[in-house]
Amino acid sequence: MGPAILVVDDEPAICDNLAAFLEDEGMRVHTVQSGEDALSRIAAGLPIQVCIVDLRLPGMSGTDAILQIHRIAPMVRFIIHTGSAPDSVLSKLQETALGSTPVFKKPVGDMSELAQMAAALGTES
């Protein structure tokens, strides 16, 4: 069985697409539409290895979500999946141990690359 994944994206269609693809690759995928939801699900004990996070989210930003999840679940690995990656957001992460978080820009031309990355990070954690 592959790793367990949490997708955080306010677009349900994007959540569905990622879930479908990753499930076909044999992963278990959960989806939430906000950073707050992601945080509370993980705090409640949702067992995941990899979190795929959009940066522009309503309410808590993707970057803040990553930093806070990292604080309560340091073993979780992250993939940024975003339509835009302003340098300021990435440099905020670079100040922490999460500086090397991989970034996939929407639209992802070949999703199997993203799936392979998720699988690799999942076995790492």
Partner 1 sequence: MDFSLERAQRVRFWAEDARVRSIIENVADGVVGIDAEGYVELFNPAAERLFGYAAGEVMGHNVKLLMPPQYSEHHDAYLERYLSTGEARIIGSGREVVGRRKNGSTFPMYLSVGDVTVPELRGFIGIVHDLTEQKAAEQKLAQARELLQSIIDSIPSALVAVDGQGRVTHWNRTAAREGAIDPEAAIGRPFAELFPLLQTHMDPLRQAVADCRPLKCERLPVPTGTDTRYVDVMVYPLVHDSGGSVVRIDDVTERVRIEEMMVQTEKMMSVGGLAAGMAHEINNPLGIVAQGCQNLQRRLSKDIPENRAVADELGLDLDVLGEYLARRGIIRFFAGMREATARASRIVSDMLAYSRRSASSFVPIHLNELIDTVLRLAGHDYDLRKSYDFRRIHISREMTGASDEVYCDEMAIEQVLLNLMRNAAQAMASSASLQSPEIQLRVADEGSRVRVEVADNGPGMSEDVSRRLFEPFFTTKPAGVGTGLGLSVAYFIVTEQHRGTIEVETAPGRGTRFIVRLPREGRPYGSGNSGGR
Helix (H, G, I), strand (E, B), or coil: what is residue 30? strand
Q: Does 11 bind partner 1 (CB under 8 A)?
A: yes
Cβ-based neighbours of 116, under 8 Å, separated by 6 or more = none
Instruction: Give the nearest distance from C-beta 88 to partner 1 in angstroms.
Output: 9
Q: For strands 50-53 and 77-82, give the pairing.
A: parallel
Please confirm whether the linkage preceding 107 is cis (ω < 30° from 0).
Answer: yes
Q: Which stretch binds partner 1 (CB under 8 A): 13-21, 34-42, 44-52, 65-73?
A: 13-21
Nearer to partner 1, 4 or 46 (CB): 4
- Return residues touching partner 1 (CB under 8 A): 11, 13-14, 17-18, 20-21, 24, 56, 82-84, 87, 91, 105-111
